[in-house]
Amino acid sequence: MNIPDPIKLTQDLIRFNTINPPGNEDELCNYLTELLESAGFECMNVDFAPRRRSIIARISGAANKSNICFTGHVDVVPLGDRPWDHEPFSGEIQDGKLFGRGSSDMKSGIAAFVVAAMKAAHIAKNQGGISLIITAGEETGCEGAFYIAAQKKVIDFIGNVGCFVVAEPTANEPIIGHKGAYWLRAKAEGITAHGSMPERGDNAFYKIAKGALLLEQFQFDTPPHSLMGQGTLNVGTARAGLNINSVPDAAEMTLDIRSVPGQSHSHIYGCLCKTLGPNIKLETIMDVEGIYTPPDHPWIQTVYAHCQEINGVKTAPKSISYFTDASALKGQIGDPPTVVLGPGQPEMAHQTDEFCYTEKITQATTLFERLIIDWQNNGSHEEVHAR
């Protein structure tokens, strides 16, 4: 077994073009499968569409213990219209920065936990074990993760998860929660007529416009979260009409709701229906819950201690507003304590000339290895009995 350097592995992963769409994550996943199998991992391919491959890898531990699980996605967003100064699929390193699409979001995180897991595999085999969930299609709504979550045989293969690390870009700062996303399409119907005789029609756009103005004043009736505050609602798009000289008989707008843990999406739906009234119908586009683990949870305290030692900075409870694959996976794998933690720079996600500091990749690999070893020695037995 040859354990790769995590910086070089990040470069290797960047050189696979996995822009989503179309994704084409299969070749990268095949590469990781071969690498992980060389370290004794069992791997399962999970394809939700042609060339849309996720992989599950595991080192099985003792039957009465739970494993530590890592997740990350291998698809990346398009390059954008602005020209890049650094070739986006070369993995070029300059002045301590590793450039490339996916360097921060989030192939560096995957490289770090893959190398850490390979290094600690021999320890985990007789203890709690390790599981890795490497997904396709995260950038377009967690498609790969939701597909995994719906497959019982895949969830069984992942095993009994005692703690969960999502290696999204956080510059190695632990994040203990994030908001959920509840996206809705609001639609109204009317009656068309000639634009010179609008009184003969029923303008659907006016209904949507009135609804949008009502939503501008909408207030959630649930208390704010202790760390994340209150949920948010934004009207993102509006559309009506086919031509200027006709009364539109259909109109719609889209709503982007970012909920906080403890907010029920079904309750929000009911409140919106009451606010908008019977002339507007709601359709769900996306429904993913937020996540949160209290900062005083024993395992979170362990994560804080390791992060503080490696980063040299006192750790404080933090959350993020965007959602991750954890929304799709956490409940299906046993609702373990969860942290979002990875080497990428959060402000570089989706940016032109995206980069990750090479030092952060090295530090994250050490951090992940310590978390794995600590879990095998101290966490796995107690956690499985507590659940």
**Measured CA angle at 257 (ends 252, 261), to 5 deg:** 155
Q: Give pLDDT tens digits for 271-317.
A: 999 999 999 999 999 999 999 999 999 999 999 999 999 999 999 99
Report DSSP state, residue 224: P
- Distances from the Cα of 219 to the Cαs of 48, 264, 271, 288, in angstroms? 38, 14, 10, 20
For residue 18, which of 95, 72, 67 has the smallest C-alpha distance? 72
Please state which CATH class domain 180-288 belongs to.
Answer: alpha beta
Q: How far apart are CA 183 and CA 190, in angstroms?
A: 24
- Look at residue 352 and tell me whether its pLDDT is greater than 70: yes
Report the C-alpha dihedral over residues 316, 321, 326, 330, rounded to 10 degrees.
70
Q: Give pLDDT tens digits for 64-113.
A: 999 999 999 999 999 999 999 999 999 999 999 999 999 999 999 999 99
Residues 172, 313 contacting (CB under 8 angstroms): no
Residue 322 banded pLDDT, cuts 50, 70, 90: confident
Q: How far apart are CA 42 and CA 152, in angstroms?
A: 17
- Look at residue 387 and tell me whether its pLDDT is greater than 90: no
Residue 380 banded pLDDT, cuts 50, 70, 90: confident
Residues 136, 75 contacting (CB under 8 angstroms): yes
Q: Give pLDDT tens digits for 192-202.
A: 999 999 999 99
Coil, strand, or helix at residue 9?
helix
Residue 318 banded pLDDT, cuts 50, 70, 90: very high
Q: How far apart are CA 336 and CA 148, in angstroms?
A: 17
Residue range(s) occupied by CATH 3.30.70.360 in the chain: 180-288
- Look at residue 149 and tell me whether its pLDDT is greater than 60: yes
Two tokens at 226? 């202790």
pLDDT of residue 381: 59
For residue 185, which of 231, 251, 140, 243 has the smallest C-alpha distance? 251
| CATH number attached to the domain at 6-178+290-386 | 3.40.630.10
Q: Give pLDDT tens digits for 218-247.
A: 999 999 999 999 999 999 999 999 999 999
Q: Give pLDDT tens digits for 167-182.
A: 999 999 999 999 999 9
- Mean pLDDT for the stretch of residues 28-44: 98
Two tokens at 347? 């402000």
Residue range(s) occupied by CATH 3.40.630.10 in the chain: 6-178+290-386
